[in-house]
Amino acid sequence: GAVVSQHPSWVICKSGTSVKIECRSLDFQATTMFWYRQFPKQSLMLMATSNEGSKATYEQGVEKDKFLINHASLTLSTLTVTSAHPEDSSFYICSARDGPTQETQYFGPGTRLLVL
């Protein structure tokens, strides 16, 4: 089946620094990738939809200048948390569809971010 990877899996950083998270589709081309955020014992909250070659579409309440998304190729999308603060600490998960008309989303393993 379709495989999605994420890197890094775990990151600790100081407040004020920026952190980049990569999401890759390993065996398929993903025209659309999705970024989610998950707090402990809570559901996945869709942050943004990333389309290859165009600007990401952000959900209401998600700061686009805070969470920069780039989808430069059909196999890579990046999420950069700029000037991270402790409240940005969370589990970030990406997902991808293996085709523009496919509905099933395949999730990456997630990135756990801890901002001190």
Say whether residue 29 binds other proteins (CB under 8 A): no
Q: Closer CB to other proteins, residue 34 or residue 67?
A: 34
Q: Closer CB to other proteins, residue 64 or residue 85?
A: 64
Residue-wise DSSP of 34-85: EEEEE-TTS-EEEEEEEETTSPPEEPTT--TTTEEEEEEETTEEEEEETT--
Stretch near other proteins under the rule CB under 8 A, chosen from 17-25, 69-77, 78-86, 98-106: 98-106
Q: How far apart are CA 64 and CA 61, in angstroms?
A: 9
The three-state secondary structure class of 8 is coil
The three-state secondary structure class of 101 is coil
Q: Closer CB to other proteins, residue 2 or residue 76?
A: 2
Q: Are strands 111-115 and 57-58 parallel, antiparallel or unpaired?
A: unpaired
Q: Which residue in 74, 82, 89, 107 binds other proteins (CB under 8 A)?
A: 107
Q: Which residue in 14, 53, 60, 65 binds other proteins (CB under 8 A)?
A: 60
Q: Are strands 90-97 and 32-38 parallel, antiparallel or unpaired?
A: antiparallel
List binders of other proteins among 31-50 (CB under 8 A): 32, 34, 41-46, 49
Interface residues with other proteins (CB under 8 A) are 32, 34, 41-46, 49, 60, 93, 95, 97, 103-110, 112
